[in-house]
A and B are shown apart, each in its own frame.
Chain A
Amino acid sequence: MSNIIRNCMYQGKNLFREGSLLFWSVIYPIILAVLFYAAFNGIMDSSLDDINIGIEESNEIFHVLEEMDFINVHIITENEVYEKLDNEEIDAFIDSNLNLTVDESGINQTIIKEVVEEIKQIIKLNRPIDGFEFFVSYVQGKNQEANSFVVIFYSLIAMVSTYGIYAGIETASLVQANLSNLGIRINVTPLKKQNFLIAGVIVSLLMNLFANTVLLLFINYILKIHLCSDLKHSAVFILLGNLFGVILGVFIGVSNKKSMSVKTLIAIVVTLLLSFLSGMMGPWIKIMIDKYIPLLARINPISIISNNLYRINLLGSTKSVGEGAVILLFYCIVLLFLSYIFLRRKNNDSL
């Protein structure tokens, strides 16, 4: 144990004094946040308008929706749906099976989706719908500026929380004789590789959490955007996101014999792909995946982080917190176990 603590201390000093790593994990996300803020500042001041929903009068939730102050209910027939959507007279249409038809993605559509999902659950549980305060849950209670561009900041936090992947690769390279000169020296010492790696994971995690904290404080106090209204649940996903990033980095680092640059490239491709599939590069991808491969959205770690941060803080919903946390934790354990298998008593064919 003292060995791990000592390694944490020295690896921590080595990592925290690495200027380039500090830039990419601390300064770069702040620069991105400033750029996002500068680009979308004007739009972010807009407030939430009432949401227009199209529905048939015979629909079982018609009266429930009618009671909601923030929803304007429009009685239409199924034949009029696309015309009304095209003319932007309605934001969404709810059919008799409580399926949603939308023309575009946005905050209104997301809120409607969450409301409908909640209603479905209440119906399943045979609980009375009338007493449920949807507006409190989804809009007012969170004291959150309701606009779609806040989502970008959740995506940014999700992305930064997985940045530990690079520190993870770095740690794995330091302990492998075929990847670094230092690895040659360390492998001749009586230090067990797993102790070095555990210390590396702890240090990388702390450094990335520090970077996340700096970013959140900056967004909160300098940009005055209050993203974390539910700090407790948000912290769970930020922490798990960091842990996942670092351990994924370690796994990439130890699972193959490619050079450092190739491993970094793998990390970039993996994170970009996961981010792409989570809708970070455009909401249409997210909509497509939600529609055709909903399972992918539920198992994509970056989707899990960004969706949950969004739901927890913007929509006030914690219903997927447990599932998301368990999936991320499962990934961490599996990757850690596989990394251990790759590292165990390994020596090299070439250095």
Chain B
Amino acid sequence: MIVEAKNIVKRYAERIALDHFSMEVYEGEILGLLGPNGCGKTTAINCILSLLNFDKGEIKVFGKKMTPSSYDIKRKIGLVPQEVSVFENLTVRENIDYFCGLYVDDKYERKKYVEEAIEFVDLKDYVRFYPKKLSGGLKRRLNIACGIVHKPKLIFLDEPTVAVDAQSRNFILEGIKRLNGEGSTVVYTTHYLEEAEMLCSRIIIMDNGKDIVSGTTEELKAMITASEKIVVSFINIEDKIINLMNSIPHVIDIERNGEDFIIKFENGINNLSNLLSFITEHNLTYTKLYSKLPTLNDVFLELTGKELRD
């Protein structure tokens, strides 16, 4: 285990930012911290990195207690902060070289690392540019390069794709996968469901400073009652037929949304074929019919009673 945080409580005056929050990070994984804005993701990272005091709990990183002067631990860590954090009056290459030099003393090794980082984020055409001359996406890439240039064993990426265009976002996500492939353990905070689902080998869902649940995407989806939703639009359906649909095996709820009926099924097989049999049996006509597998948003909705996108 690389990071172990147990029952962390962090208060800002009357507000609780972290409420007995716990998390573990295992070597080689990409752990996603998923939750809405303000749920405590960044606070959790700041506490782990000893940037913030906390009121209760215990944090160990690489098996040791993390303090502001844990320089040996800090050597193994890379941080990509939520906000672009670079020197505005240093060029792209100078910024990357500066941060690399805080970890790597050897000049030749440093040069090699800097070149590799520039290559990694594909900024070779911009090495002489100052950050203010870069677009938002390119700045984010520079922000990432400064955090990973020393090839850390553990990387914290705090919402690195916020306010980034689709092309840059894909580039960043692919890059994170490559970093993980090269042996880095990654902690990735996001409020984007799709990113967490696509990228993370394990996810911790957070809300109101609490770790609600953790597991792989499949494990999380298996936790919810409605494991499948089928959306269907009928032509001239009677109310008594709608009520009869509740007798279809595994149906747990039927929701009407305009012309569409959202039929929720609990865990089970043949849900779609059972519904089609019911339609045939009652001579129903429909204009559209499709099945929706549960998303992380459904998981969040069921666990917290609200949408992650709220």
Q: CA–CA, A346 to B50, complex, Å?
A: 10
Is A345 within 8 A of B94, CB to CB?
no
State whether B103 touches A185 (Cβ < 8 A). Answer: no
A333 to chain B: closest CB distance in Å?
24
B99:A185 contact, CB within 8 angstroms: yes
Closest to B50 in A: A347
Which residues 179-199 in A have Cβ within 8 Å of B in the complex?
180-182, 184-185, 187-192
A177 contacts chain B at the CB level, 8 A cutoff: yes
Q: Are A190 and B102 in contact (CB under 8 A)?
A: yes
Determine whether the beta carbon of B89 is less than 8 Å from that of A13: yes
Contact of B68 among A184, A187, A349 (CB under 8 A): A187
Other-chain contact of A185, B53, B68, B146 (Cβ < 8 Å): B146
Q: Which stretch of B76-84, B213-221, B263-271 is in the interface? A: B76-84
Beta-carbon contact of A2 and B105 below 8 Å? yes
Residue-by-residue, is B92-120 near A (CB-CB < 8 Å gives 1, otherwise 0)? 00100011011101000000000000000
- The answer to the question of A124 belonging to the interface, with a C-beta cut-off of 8 Å to chain B, is no
User: Given the interface contacts A13-B89, A13-B90, A184-B85, does A345 sit within 8 Å of B67 by beta carbon?
Assistant: yes
Q: Are A192 and B81 in contact (CB under 8 A)?
A: no
Q: Which residues of B contact A17 (CB under 8 A)?
A: 89-90
Is B290 in the interface zone, CB < 8 Å from A? no
Contact between chains at B90 and A192 (CB < 8 Å): no
Known A181-B84, A189-B74, A190-B71: A6·B101 in contact at CB below 8 Å: yes
| CB pair B89 A347 closer than 8 Å | no
Interface residues of A in 225-248 (CB under 8 A from B): none
- B94 contacts A190, CB within 8 Å? no
Complex: chain A residue closest to B150, CB-CB = A189
A185-B99, A190-B102 are known contacts. Are A348 and B53 too (CB-CB below 8 A)? Answer: yes
Q: Does residue A125 face the partner (Cβ distance < 8 Å to B)?
A: no
Please, which residues of chain B bring their CB within 8 A of the CB of A191?
Answer: 102
* Shortest beta-carbon distance from B12 to chain A in Å: 6
Q: Which residues of B contact A3 (CB under 8 A)?
A: 102
A10 interface neighbour in B46, B52, B90, B147, Cβ under 8 Å: B90
State A184–B99 Cα separation when bound (angstroms). Answer: 13
Q: Is the CB of A190 within 8 A of B52?
A: no
Task: Count chain A CB atoms within 10 A of each CB in B53, B74, B99, B101 and give the residue with the most.
Answer: B101
B250 at the binding interface (Cβ < 8 Å): no
Q: Which residues of A contact B67 (CB under 8 A)?
A: 345
**Contact yes or no, B51 A10, CB < 8 A:** no
- A95 to B212: give the CA distance in the assembly, Å: 87
Interface size class of B (residues with CB under 8 A): 20 to 34
Residue interface bits A144-184, CB-to-B below 8 A is 1, else 0: 00000000000000000000000000000000010011101
A58 contacts the other chain (Cβ, under 8 Å)? no
Q: Is the CB of B85 within 8 A of A190?
A: no
Is A351 part of the contact surface with B, judged by Cβ < 8 Å?
yes
Residues B102 and A181 in contact, CB atoms below 8 Å apart: no
Distance, CA A184 to CA B158, complexed state (A) = 12
Total inter-chain residue pairs, C-beta < 8 Å = 81
Contact with A along B186-198 (1 / 0, CB 8 A): 0000000000000
User: Contact between B51 and A177 (Cβ–Cβ < 8 Å)?
Assistant: yes
Chain B proximity of A89: nearest CB distance (Å):
61
Q: Are B102 and A182 in contact (CB under 8 A)?
A: no
Chain B, residues 46-88, CB within 8 Å of chain A (1/0): the string is 1001111100000000000001110110110101010111111
Central interface residue in A3, A15, A182, by most chain B CB within 10 Å: A182
Nearest CB of chain A from residue B209's CB, rounded to whole Å = 14
Known: A2-B105, A190-B102, A350-B12. A184 touches B51 (CB 8 A): yes
What CA separation (Å) do A350 and B77 show in the bound complex?
21
Check if A185 sits within 8 Å of B79, measured CB to CB: yes
A residues less than 8 Å from B74 (CB atoms): 188-190
Q: CA A348 – CA B53 in complex, angstroms?
A: 6
Interface residues of B in 283-310 (CB under 8 A from A): none
**A49: interface (CB < 8 Å):** no
- Asked whether A184 and B89 contact (CB < 8 A) given A190-B75, A347-B68, A350-B52, the answer is no
Q: A10-B90, A17-B89, A350-B12 are in contact. Are A181 and B52 (CB under 8 A)?
A: no
Alpha-carbon separation in the docked complex, A324 to B64 (Å): 50
Per a CB cutoff under 8 Å, which of A177, A189, A192 touches B99? Answer: A189
By the criterion CB–CB under 8 Å, are B86 and A10 in contact? no
Bound-complex Cα distance A10 to B93 (A): 12
Q: Is A18 an interface residue (CB 8 A)?
A: yes
Q: Give per-residue flags for A319-348: 1 if the beta carbon is below 8 A from chain B beta carbons, else 0.
A: 000000000000000000000000001111
Query: Are B87 and A10 closer than 8 Å at their CB atoms?
Result: yes
Q: Which B residues are in CB contact (< 8 Å) with A177?
A: 46, 51
CB–CB B89/A18 < 8 A: yes
B-binding residues in A (CB < 8 A): 2-3, 6, 10, 13-15, 17-18, 177, 180-182, 184-185, 187-192, 345-351
**What are some 22 contacts across the A-B interface (CB < 8 A)?**
A10-B87, A10-B94, A13-B89, A13-B94, A14-B88, A14-B89, A184-B81, A185-B79, A185-B85, A185-B147, A187-B51, A188-B51, A188-B79, A189-B74, A189-B99, A189-B103, A190-B102, A190-B103, A347-B51, A347-B52, A348-B52, A350-B52
Q: For the complex of A and B, list the 8 residue pairs with the smallest distance between their C-beta atoms, beginning with the closest.
A: A17-B89, A181-B85, A190-B71, A185-B85, A181-B83, A189-B102, A188-B79, A14-B89
Q: List 18 additional A-B contacts (Cβ < 8 Å) besides A180-B85, A351-B51.
A: A13-B90, A17-B89, A177-B46, A181-B81, A181-B83, A184-B51, A184-B79, A184-B83, A185-B81, A187-B51, A187-B68, A189-B74, A190-B71, A190-B75, A192-B71, A345-B69, A347-B68, A349-B52
B residues bordering A, Cβ < 8 Å?
Answer: 12, 46, 49-53, 67-69, 71-72, 74-75, 77, 79, 81, 83-90, 94, 98-99, 101-103, 105, 146-147
